[in-house]
Amino acid sequence: MMVEPRSPSAMSAARAYRAALARLVRGEGRHPDHQGRIVRISPASVAREAGKSRNPLYTTHRDILDEIEAAAQGPGPAKDLAGKLRELEAEIALLRADARRHAEERRGLASQNLALFHRARTAEGQLASLQRRAAMAPAAEPSATRRR
């Protein structure tokens, strides 16, 4: 049962209340108290979003008050908040498990890197030793079997 307000100001207020309700249902409030937040839909929050008093909702715009009550009962951003919270907590748990696994992998790779670095340094030392010995060894005489 929708009762149409007769005065232009009442019609303008009704449009403002309905637009505010639609924004809150979508989770797109413009009022500073509502921006970036999930707001519970109530006559007070709709009136605040519309920039109007809430008294006309109870006196002149009972049909809009019924719409607000229906919207408060239906699905919306505030209703989905608990589910979203559980979802995010599960994601955090997975990310923490991944972070622990990556830390373990990093420690293993650091150990491998250290072992390879040690082997490379040992090989470089052996090569330098062989090069010093080769430089100190008497030069081999040319082979007699070689002909021109």
Say which residue, 83 or 8, is predicted with more confidence.
Answer: 8
Token pair, residue 46, equals: 């709709």
Question: Phi/psi of residue 77, each to 5°?
Answer: -60, -40
CA of residue 142 relative to chain centroid, distance: 76
Alpha carbon distance 127, 121 (integer Å): 10
Residues 6 or more apart whose Cβ sits within 8 Å of residue 76: 25, 27, 41
Say which residue, 32 or 97, is predicted with more confidence.
Answer: 97
Q: Does position 48 have pLDDT exceeding 60, yes or no?
A: yes
Tell me the pLDDT of the chain averaged across its residues: 84
Identify residue 114 by its one-letter amino acid code. L
Q: What is the predicted pLDDT for the residue at 120? A: 97
pLDDT digits (tens, 9 = 90+) for 59-117: 888 899 889 888 888 766 556 677 788 889 999 999 999 999 999 999 999 999 999 99
pLDDT, mean of residues 119-133:
95
Identify residue 67 by its one-letter amino acid code. E
Alpha carbon distance 78, 80 (integer Å): 5
Q: Does position 25 have pLDDT exceeding 90, yes or no?
A: no
| Long-range interactions of 78-85: CB distance < 8 A, separation 24+ | 78/38, 78/39, 78/40, 78/41, 81/38
